[in-house]
Amino acid sequence: MSATVGVSGTTQGGFEHLRSVFENLLREDPHYGAELSVYHHGEKVADLWGGKDARANVVHPVYSSTKGAAAFVVATLVDEGLLNLDTTVARYWPQFAAEDKGNVTVRQLLSHQAGLVSAEGLTASDILDSESAARKLAAARPAWRPGAAVGYHGLTIGVLMEELVRRVSSVSLQSLYESRIRASRGIDFYLGLPAMEDARFSKPGPAALPTSDAQSDPPLFDDLAAFTFSSMHRPFDPNAGDLDFDRTEVRTAGFAAGGGVGSADGLARLYSAALGDIGTPFVRPSTMRDFAQTQVWGRDLVLSAWRSFGIVFATPNPDDPFGSHEAFGHPGAGGSMAFADPLYGLAFGYIPTPDDPFEEGARRVRTLSEAARRCARNAGQL
């Protein structure tokens, strides 16, 4: 069966059902391929790849799934008392108080409630040079009154994290990720891909989408989502322009909103470490619970969908039940997903190859997540 659909890799005892579910998904669609890794209480129980364009020992861009890795760095600073979630941002970053933002707290800022989804004149080049972007955001007027709504800060939340880290630690978020989290635990996920790893880089191809008749009147692309992604009057494409991962400078920048590169195993191992199951825990469990706790739930003004967020992390909700009620993680454009599920002791990393259409990708993640949770429950080691 596995040879028919081209599944490679291994599963440990008790997780064979997960492999079968993965095989079934591959069998449904000849255009689908993916890499999947799952850890259970620190043990790798699934390391699978199969289907179109999937292969071993490669690393991929994962876009917004990067945000989880960046959030772990911020969590280490909160854990040390260098950052307080309920202190105003301006306490650490005085220029941020412009345009009546002086009362915005770090908690609001990092749970997509501050309304700073973009700024006039903000470019993709600014995102790569986040100090430039931070100056523009500090001077900007919020798109809504902070705390009055939730809206996905798709590119800017990375800039905001990077600036807070610089303000309280005097070093970059990427440097702290490497020294505090990645290197000592052998995590195959990078915020800034080293030159020695560049030969392993592979950018997934575009999703196979149904063709449709050209519209005589294309959309105006003038809504809040277009402003958020600096794509006013044109469709947003994360694989085009200044943020194209085919550019070496994008891969090496490791920008916190979406510049991470790694493997499915790297993503899963990162979240297993966050649960304290690999190496010395990098934060106390109480700090991780604070970051994982839902801070806001509502109709997202940018995504035009119901969404819930912890501190940076996405959290499950009735419209997106990617894990149990304790799970936390982050999806990425193209269909990647990484999360931890403390209820089951699971860590999950998933990268489709080629990219997955959004709704279909979310369905596949839910299907695989449910299978992994069933295996963990049946193992009787919750």
Q: What is the DSSP string of 212-232?
A: -PPPSS-----SHHHHHTT-T
What pairs with residue 48 in β-bridges? 9, 36
Segment 292-320, tens digit of pLDDT = 999 999 999 999 999 999 999 999 999 99
What is the pTM (predicted TM-score) of this model? Answer: 0.95
DSSP letter for 46, please: E
Q: Report the C-alpha gap between 1 and 349 in whole angstroms.
A: 24
Band of the pLDDT at 2, cuts 50, 70, 90? very low
Query: Residue 167: its pLDDT value, please?
Result: 98
Segment 55-98, tens digit of pLDDT = 999 999 999 999 999 999 999 999 999 999 999 999 999 999 99
Segment 139-162, tens digit of pLDDT = 999 999 999 999 999 999 999 999
Output the average pLDDT for the chain: 94
Nearest to 298 by CA among 152, 85, 115: 152
Segment 317-333, tens digit of pLDDT = 999 999 999 999 999 99
Query: Residue 8: its pLDDT value, please?
Result: 96
Q: Please report, for the chain, how many H helices and E strands are present, in that order.
A: 14, 11
Segment 347-356, tens digit of pLDDT = 999 999 998 8
Segment 207-220, tens digit of pLDDT = 765 655 556 677 88
Q: What mean pLDDT comes out for the span 27-42? A: 96
Query: Residue 335: its pLDDT value, please?
Result: 95
Within 8 A by CB and 6+ apart from 141, the residues are 99, 100
Segment 262-280, tens digit of pLDDT = 999 999 999 999 999 999 9
Band of the pLDDT at 1, cuts 50, 70, 90? very low
Homologous superfamily of domain range 1-205+219-382: DD-peptidase/beta-lactamase superfamily (3.40.710.10)
3-state helix/strand/coil string of 259-318: CCEECHHHHHHHHHHHCCCCCCCCCCHHHHHHHHCCCEEEECCCCCCEEEECCCCECCEC
Q: What percent of the chain has pLDDT over 90?
A: 87
